[in-house]
Chains A and B, each alone.
Chain A
């Protein structure tokens, strides 16, 4: 993979993130090790509460970490101290939120929404440059003709168009990385693919990296086919690797269970899917994360004394190309028969 040759944009090393809730501590992220390389696509997938959004926010610099290290372009985050350097960080990372109804100010025109960051970060020198840049940005996100869009308010646009404006706004500061948090899950199916294709094109044209957060595995597979997928469960990464490896030959039992459970838009395929019987259907709460591998109370391949003893480390098991955190897998035990 070509991305591996470049130094990472962001490095998370043993990153934890805890939240206090009353007297309790919620361990939302534990021991996250993750690099984001320039111009790569990295998908974070998992179910609600797995920590994918928190990870995305830490990558985008919107949230501090509780433990571990975050390095940005080779330097510890804390070393970016003065105002100028912090402004530089803000320009480097941008986020596109899920809900374009909520993330665009309804009382501002599109022109104003896009002008604000351009002026704030002095990305343009004068009005002529500003006007030209606005048109250019709207054309980049396929909102044409751009003159028609500029003076509109968000409510005058469709959901898909609004999300394109959000993306254009993220592009105003010429970021190196965009975190797209469920960026198309509120957009209708027929329009979704158009927005994803546009993001892929922008990635190439503008040399940006995209961290794409989604709960939809099929979407992750489509979008990140040339990139990587990290599967998260209860605050940890349980599997990470190139997308074709993770989707085509899943290693971790949790990833296997997810892939076996996803319905597909093909009646014969979806009805013939072989289900993976879980030992429990309930996701444990973040207040009492199970000991050892957090998936062990549900895992059909649970090995008593092994899985519930220590937290498994990410490693490449025999027969796989990607890393997975599963003790029996690492020992080379065949994960074929289901435990009772």
Chain B
């Protein structure tokens, strides 16, 4: 893809947390490009840094978190480039929702229980200079697209909606101001299987109609297989493998990705042999030398213990 199609470029970003025990290297030198219309899945297990990265991108890191290196560039629709990490508070406030919005995991926690959905829509619109009548029209049409009963939902309180409906409301609201990038943190983890299916379906349709880019954070390989164009596997704060979804799933090159796939049970096969990855992730206060996966890797060599391998294109096998 041509460079002009990149909407969000993350270069060499590192994030640390200060804790009582010491400094945690939560994200180390992560880079990736997000193209227009692309869905990038960041997959990895708890503590791998996938949520930390996006919190860093949108300025929501807790006080103990600090971005130590890196650059994040965002390309607006008019072609202007924005240095995201250099935005001040007010600019960041405008950047969010207008250019980049976020859907969090627990839908109930993201909606104010004492406000009707309509109030939330109006508040968001007002804060970003969208007229109330336009906001209502846009919201109703989005609710329709995510297959909700538009007027009923618009006039409801969050507790009147089911978990799946709330998650769809959040999805629709995230698109209210026509952002180019939507970040989703485990959007289907807290919902039931049939609800998850309907959210995935709605998301696919919306993406087709509105052509936004998605950064999708998940520990669930199956959901990533379902919706991602590109998959990036994270381990111990680093992206250790990145590629088109079919490459990563069918021809994984990194031992960790391979291990994750071998540990994922499937339904459509008969009896199957699965394997765990031995050991557990390293302590990021005192990360190991070399490849951070080497203590758990079945292909380990002496070089792995001393030299950190760069992320590079591998030759076809």
Residues of A whose CB lies within 8 Å of any CB of B are 47-48, 158-161, 188-194, 197, 215, 217-219, 221-222, 225, 244, 247-248, 257-259, 261-271, 275, 278, 281-283
Complex alpha-carbon distance, A271 and B197, angstroms = 12
CB-defined A-B contacts under 8 Å, sample of 12: A47-B192, A190-B259, A190-B263, A218-B265, A218-B267, A244-B271, A261-B193, A264-B222, A266-B249, A267-B246, A269-B266, A269-B268
Residues of B whose CB lies within 8 Å of any CB of A are 45-46, 147, 162, 164-165, 192-198, 200-201, 219-223, 225-226, 245-246, 249-250, 259-261, 263-268, 270-272, 274-278, 280
Check A193 against B225 for contact (C-beta < 8 Å): no
Q: Which residue of A lies closest to B220 (CB)?
A: A263
Check B162 against A262 for contact (C-beta < 8 Å): no
Q: Which residue of B lies closest to A298 (CB)?
A: B194
Check A263 against B196 for contact (C-beta < 8 Å): yes
What A residues does B192 contact at CB under 8 A? 47-48, 215, 283
A188-B46, A191-B276, A193-B274 known; A265 vs B193 contact (CB < 8 Å): no
A188-B45, A222-B272 known; A267 vs B194 contact (CB < 8 Å): no
Complex alpha-carbon distance, A244 and B259, angstroms = 25
What B residues does A189 contact at CB under 8 A? 45, 219, 221, 260, 263-264
What A residues does B250 contact at CB under 8 A? 267
Q: Which residue of B lies closest to A272 (CB)?
A: B268
What B residues does A159 contact at CB under 8 A? 46
Q: Which residue of B lies closest to A254 (CB)?
A: B194
Check A275 against B276 for contact (C-beta < 8 Å): no
Complex alpha-carbon distance, A197 and B46, angstroms = 22
Complex alpha-carbon distance, A261 and B197, angstroms = 6
Check B222 against A281 for contact (C-beta < 8 Å): no
What B residues does A271 contact at CB under 8 A? 225-226
Check B249 against A192 for contact (C-beta < 8 Å): no
> Chain A binding site: helix, strand, loop or mixed by DSSP?
helix
Q: Which residue of B lies closest to A221 (CB)?
A: B267
Q: Which residue of A lies closest to B225 (CB)?
A: A267
Q: How far is the CB of B48 from chain A (nearest CB, A)?
A: 9
A189-B221, A265-B266 known; A282 vs B162 contact (CB < 8 Å): yes
Q: How far is the CB of A19 from chain B (nearest CB, A)?
A: 19
A160-B280, A265-B222, A267-B225 known; A259 vs B267 contact (CB < 8 Å): yes
Complex alpha-carbon distance, A265 and B249, angstroms = 8
A218-B267, A222-B272, A265-B249 known; A275 vs B259 contact (CB < 8 Å): no
A258-B194, A275-B197, A281-B198 known; A193 vs B276 contact (CB < 8 Å): yes
What B residues does A261 contact at CB under 8 A? 193-194, 196-197
What B residues does A225 contact at CB under 8 A? 271
Complex alpha-carbon distance, A215 and B200, angstroms = 18
Complex alpha-carbon distance, A221 and B271, angstroms = 8
Partner of B164, one of A219, A221, A281: A281
What B residues does A278 contact at CB under 8 A? 194
What B residues does A258 contact at CB under 8 A? 193-194
Q: How far is the CB of B256 from chain A (nearest CB, A)?
A: 8
Q: Which residue of B lies closest to A271 (CB)?
A: B226
Besides A218-B264, A248-B270, 11 new A-B residue pairs in contact (Cβ under 8 A), listed by A number: A189-B221, A189-B264, A193-B263, A193-B265, A193-B274, A217-B267, A218-B265, A264-B267, A265-B249, A267-B246, A268-B246
Complex alpha-carbon distance, A75 and B76, angstroms = 73
What B residues does A259 contact at CB under 8 A? 267
Check B222 against A215 for contact (C-beta < 8 Å): no
Q: How far is the CB of B262 from chain A (nearest CB, A)?
A: 8
Complex alpha-carbon distance, A21 and B84, angstroms = 50
Check B265 against A283 for contact (C-beta < 8 Å): no
What B residues does A283 contact at CB under 8 A? 162, 192, 194
What B residues does A188 contact at CB under 8 A? 45-46, 219
What B residues does A262 contact at CB under 8 A? 193, 197, 222, 267
Complex alpha-carbon distance, A279 and B223, angstroms = 24
Complex alpha-carbon distance, A221 and B267, angstroms = 7
Complex alpha-carbon distance, A78 and B160, angstroms = 42
Q: How far is the CB of A229 from chain B (nearest CB, A)?
A: 12
Q: How far is the CB of A41 from chain B (nearest CB, A)?
A: 14
Q: How far is the CB of B272 from chain A (nearest CB, A)?
A: 7
Complex alpha-carbon distance, A161 and B281, angstroms = 13
Check A47 against B193 for contact (C-beta < 8 Å): yes
Complex alpha-carbon distance, A278 and B162, angstroms = 16
What B residues does A160 contact at CB under 8 A? 280
